[in-house]
């Protein structure tokens, strides 16, 4: 099996046909007779013929690769949510014969990367991660005529491009309502970085729910940081040291929630008893049992980021293969999963 690589020319010679016919036979063109097609396919399989990607790419302009640029904003943190998203997207890509290209760059260099993708013809399309308010990338990509799908929403979703987002605002509205119904009034929000739209939406959902209930949210109970376990832990310790600690904590990720839970236990408190914990759960594969028999632990608003990855890739491939079609937008609702970390407000936490 050393070096079998046959090229089109050799295959054609072997068959006594022209390259044209062989190429057409393999690519399913109608103008080749079924008998010939079968012969060609058989020979191709026997010789393990596979067209060179770069030659095909040069001839067609297509690369069968989708780009993902990972910005290392402050020299830190590739977030684990990304890897689950990629896993989902990768499944779809594999199914359609695409590869995923990943390029890391400083945030300021991102525009350059897109131009590079286009002028060097490296990818057929890209997915845009972590949109911010008035995200400039949308305009760049449009002007470059590079197909793209946004994971999240830019321009409030009004814009004329494909996107898929979770209804973060509603998710946090509902989460807050759930806690309010349990009697909680002092609710802390441990949000992700709020220049990212998803985090801003979550904050808004939380605030809306509070004001619908006639309550004013206490700004001192709200924070926004990268979603690390240590953030949940440190912040919870701070909150518990207050004169008026919260009776419930709303977290932007399960990672944060794990830190919160750890801090609670360290302080001798039990999640779901003295302090309730509710997290947004991206259904990360490594935080969940592989078999779903066990009772959920964290109460959470859940939506699978991996499923989102799958769908976003489908949407992207559709834009690539039928650019004339109209863009699609999907807004997914997160599902409330009640676990053991929430419970009715209890005496202790009353201010």
Does residue 238 belong to the site contacting its own copies (CB under 8 A)? Answer: no
Residues that bind its own copies (rule: CB under 8 A) add up to a total of 73
Q: Where in 115-154 is the site for its own copies (CB under 8 A)?
A: 115-116, 118-122, 143-145
Does residue 337 belong to the site contacting its own copies (CB under 8 A)? Answer: no
Distance CA 251, CA 261 (A): 11
Does residue 63 belong to the site contacting DNA (CB under 7 A)? Answer: no
Does residue 70 belong to the site contacting its own copies (CB under 8 A)? Answer: yes
Beta bridge partners of 196: 132
Does residue 227 belong to the site contacting its own copies (CB under 8 A)? Answer: yes
Residue 8 interacts, among DNA, its own copies, none and using kind-specific CB cut-offs from 5 to 8 Å, with DNA
Q: Are residues 149 and 127 in contact, defined by beta-carbon separation less than 8 angstroms?
A: yes
Q: Where in 91-110 is the site for its own copies (CB under 8 A)?
A: 91, 93-94, 99-105
Residue 115 interacts, among its own copies, DNA, none and using kind-specific CB cut-offs from 5 to 8 Å, with its own copies
Does residue 20 belong to the site contacting DNA (CB under 7 A)? Answer: yes
Half-sphere exposure of 336 (CA within 13 A, CB side): 13
Does residue 9 belong to the site contacting DNA (CB under 7 A)? Answer: yes
Shortest distance in whole angstroms from residue 93 CB to its own copies: 7
Give the 3-state secondary structure of 142-206. Answer: HHHCCCEEEECCCHHHCCCCEEEEECHHHHHHHHHHHHHHCCCCCEEEEECCCCEHHHHHHHHHH
Residue 211 interacts, among DNA, its own copies, none and using kind-specific CB cut-offs from 5 to 8 Å, with none
How far, CA to CA in Å, does 287 sit from each of 78, 80, 82, 221, 300? Answer: 17, 11, 14, 26, 13
Token digits of residue 280: 């947004």
Which residue is listed with tokens 């408190």? 269
Residues at the interface with DNA (CB under 7 A): 7-9, 16-21, 23-24, 26-27, 31-36, 49-52, 55-56, 58-60
């Amino acid at each position: 099996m050393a070096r079998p690589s046959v090229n089109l020319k050799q295959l054609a010679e072997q068959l006594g046909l022209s390259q044209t016919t062989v190429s057409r036979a393999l690519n399913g063109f109608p103008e080749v007779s079924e008998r010939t097609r079968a012969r060609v396919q058989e020979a191709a399989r026997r010789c393990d013929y596979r067209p060179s990607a770069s030659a095909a790419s040069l001839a067609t302009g297509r690369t069968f690769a989708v780009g993902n640029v990972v910005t290392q904003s402050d020299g830190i943190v590739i977030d684990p949510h990304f890897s689950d998203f990629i896993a989902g997207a990768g499944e779809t890509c594999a199914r359609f014969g695409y590869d995923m290209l990943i390029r890391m760059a400083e945030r300021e260099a991102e525009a350059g990367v897109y131009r590079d993708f286009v002028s060097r013809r490296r990818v057929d399309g890209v997915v845009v991660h972590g949109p911010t308010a008035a995200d400039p990338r949308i305009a760049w990509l449009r002007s470059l005529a590079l197909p793209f799908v946004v994971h999240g929403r830019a321009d409030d979703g009004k814009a004329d491009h494909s996107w898929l987002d979770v209804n973060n605002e509603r998710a946090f509205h509902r989460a807050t309502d759930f806690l309010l119904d349990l009697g909680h009034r002092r609710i802390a929000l441990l949000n992700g970085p709020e220049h990212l739209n998803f985090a801003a939406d979550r904050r808004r959902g939380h605030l809306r729910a509070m004001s619908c209930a006639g309550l004013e949210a206490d700004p001192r109970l709200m924070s926004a940081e990268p979603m690390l376990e240590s953030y949940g832990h440190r912040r919870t310790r701070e909150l518990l040291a207050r004169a008026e600690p919260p009776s419930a904590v709303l977290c932007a990720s399960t990672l944060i929630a794990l830190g919160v839970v750890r801090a609670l236990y360290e302080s001798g408190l039990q999640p779901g008893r003295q302090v309730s914990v509710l997290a947004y759960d991206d259904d990360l594969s490594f935080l969940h049992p592989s078999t779903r028999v066990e009772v959920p632990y964290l109460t959470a608003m859940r939506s699978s980021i991996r499923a989102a990855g799958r769908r976003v890739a489908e949407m992207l491939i559709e834009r690539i293969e039928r650019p004339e079609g109209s863009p699609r937008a999907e807004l997914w609702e997160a599902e409330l999963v009640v676990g053991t970390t929430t419970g009715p407000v209890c005496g202790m936490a009353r201010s």
